[in-house]
Amino acid sequence: MPQHIRAAREALLNYIHQTGSTKAINGRHIFLQGSPVLEDKNGVALGRLSGIVAHYVPAYLQKNRMPSWETNCIEDWETKVDAIVARVADQGEDANFDVSALDEAFRPGGARGPPPLMRSVVAGAAR
């Protein structure tokens, strides 16, 4: 297992251990990333780091993950975010994302809320 994947897993498990909360893996979540499409250059797979990492996301995080693989393959960020917001809006009542775990993660001591892009996605989903 690549070291950065192991480190991400251990950070997630440490968060669960420290907080006693499994919301981060049991709730629905949006994983914004670069395209997972890889290009072969002389036998080496190249791509955006977040897109490469997408090939290593464990099954226990896939079940409640969005957007779809197809949406993540959209290169243009504006188009990608619009597609995600439209999909969440289409789900109506099923689009209840609990962002409290994200909010907790970005607010040590209550100092900060979710990053601006996440606030935009959540606000767009609430339309």
Domain count for the chain, please give it.
1
CA distance 82 to 61: 23
Mean pLDDT of 7-26: 83
Q: What is the mean pLDDT of the chain?
A: 75
Buried b (16+ CB within 10 A) or exposed e, 14-51: ebeeeeeeebbbebbbbeebbbbeeeeeeeeeebeeeb
Residue 119 β-bridge partners: none
CA distance 9 to 88: 27
Buried b (16+ CB within 10 A) or exposed e, 72-111: bebeeeeebbebbbebbeeeeeeeebebebbeeeeeeeee
Yes or no: say if 72 and 37 are a contact pair by the CB < 8 Å rule: no
Mean pLDDT of 6-22: 84
Which structural domain, as residue segments, surrounds residue 29? 3-125
Sign of the dihedral defined by the CA atoms of residues 62, 66, 71, 73, in that order: negative
pLDDT single digits (tens) 55-111: 888 888 888 888 888 999 999 888 988 888 888 777 755 555 555 555 555 555 544
Mean pLDDT of 116-123: 48
Report the pLDDT value the prediction gives residue 37, as an integer from 0 to 100: 94
